[in-house]
Amino acid sequence: MKTRKVAVLGATGAVGQKFVRLLEGHPWFKLSEVYASERSAGKTYAEATNWLEESPMPQAARGLEVKTDTYDLDADICFSAIPGGKAGPAEREFARRGYAVFSNARDLRMEPDVPLVIAEVNGDHLGLVETQKKAAKSDGFVVTNGNCTTIVLAMTLKPLHDAFGVDRVQMVSMQALSGAGYPGVASLDITENVIPYIGGEEEKVLAETPKFLGRLNASHVEPAPMTISATCTRVPVIEGHTEAISVQLARKAQGEDVLRAFESFQGPKEVRGLPSAPEHPIVVRSEENRPQPRKDRGAGNFMSVVVGRIRPDSVLDWKYVALGSNTVRGAAGGSILNAELAVTKRLL
């Protein structure tokens, strides 16, 4: 596989640092550029970055000059960790100039011509890339991953929707502090506390889930016809989003059928074996007290979603608890896997 040069946009922030760390030693991608705001101008990456990752800053990144206020980068692929609200125009401009942009930001997720992708769930939605290229008359394009909470939910709904159809979903999230970025939530707000509101989060879950599970139809995605209710909360956990999920299925299923759907889910053949793809996208735990963030967030090198407590629901049909890494599968790792899939599809 040809090695491709990649840039990280918004490289000094928490998600940007996660991209930099995950790209270290990647067999297909080589970090060649880091890009950030003007306050980093003239600095090396080591000088400009308050490094938050537990492992040391990759040596190859330390001396890179931080680029600012430019769209001229020595890279084929851009991984975008530009903050929401600022990302959209910059990502569109990088794409217009011929770069393949894989974004973690919210700004363009619901645009009709922009794929919103989880590789194992709806990798075929990358077909929208050709629509983008034709409209922009450019070889560049933007692909987004989803909100970290939505990714955990949609990953677990996919096998159920394929096997039985999903009509209604009720979800309550218990979201980790790292999902709020750095410095995140004030310690006096979250210590010994649960905050039952995260601005904009529930709206993202309601909008993004049907697009993930929808059907690609020429130049747009037809959202999956399902009703979703979401309550999103912040809890004093550092990493790993936990979700209590109840579903009503279009076709009745027995417990063993639901279990089999989860355990057999692998995603398309073209995703299996990609460098960032876990062997098992969904891991089922049989213990009555799992999954737990501290014990299970690292499953599949932080790329698997862990499911447990599968049982009948007295209001809908079935309920379960799901857990996934919000900073890897739900952010940087998911975008890198999307880029790997795009490479195998010869979109670059």
310 and 267, same domain (yes or no): yes
185 and 317, same domain (yes or no): yes
Residue 219 has pLDDT above 90, yes or no: no
221 and 256, same domain (yes or no): yes
For residue 332, give the DSSP letter: I
Per-residue burial over 211-249, b if 16 or more Cβ lie within 10 Å, else e, is bbbbeeeeeebeebebebebebebbbbebbbbbebbbbb
Are the C-beta atoms of 293 and 275 separated by less than 8 Å? no
Mean pLDDT of the chain: 97
**CA-to-CA distance for 306 and 321, rounded, in angstroms?**
8
52 and 175, same domain (yes or no): no
Q: What is the pLDDT of residues 98-148, one digit of tens each?
A: 999 999 999 999 999 999 999 999 999 999 999 999 988 899 999 999 999
Q: Nearest CA to 62 among 99, 11, 102, 26?
A: 11
Residues 6 or more apart whose Cβ sits within 8 Å of residue 136: 95, 96
Q: Residue 191's domain is classified under what CATH number?
A: 3.30.360.10
123 and 198, same domain (yes or no): no
Strands (DSSP E) contained in 155-265 are: 166-175, 215-217, 220-222, 227-234, 241-249
25 and 78, same domain (yes or no): yes
Q: DSSP 3-state assignment of 116?
A: strand
Q: What is the pTM of this model?
A: 0.96
Q: What is the pLDDT of residues 22-71, one digit of tens each?
A: 999 999 999 999 999 999 999 999 999 999 999 999 999 999 999 999 99
For residue 122, give the DSSP letter: H
Residue 327, classified by CB atoms within 10 Å of its CB into exposed (0-12), middle (13-18) or buried (19+), is buried
142 and 17, same domain (yes or no): yes
Q: Residue 68's domain is classified under what CATH number?
A: 3.40.50.720
64 and 190, same domain (yes or no): no
Q: DSSP 3-state assignment of 310?
A: strand
Which structural domain, as residue segments, surrounds residue 302?
148-325
124 and 269, same domain (yes or no): no
Which positions are catalytic?
A: 148, 241
Q: What is the pLDDT of residues 284-332, one digit of tens each?
A: 999 999 999 999 999 999 999 999 999 999 999 999 999 999 999 999 9
106 and 205, same domain (yes or no): no
Residues 6 or more apart whose Cβ sits within 8 Å of residue 197: 232, 233
Q: What is the pLDDT of residue 332?
A: 98
296 and 189, same domain (yes or no): yes
242 and 311, same domain (yes or no): yes
Total number of domains in the chain: 2
Q: What is the pLDDT of residue 115?
A: 97
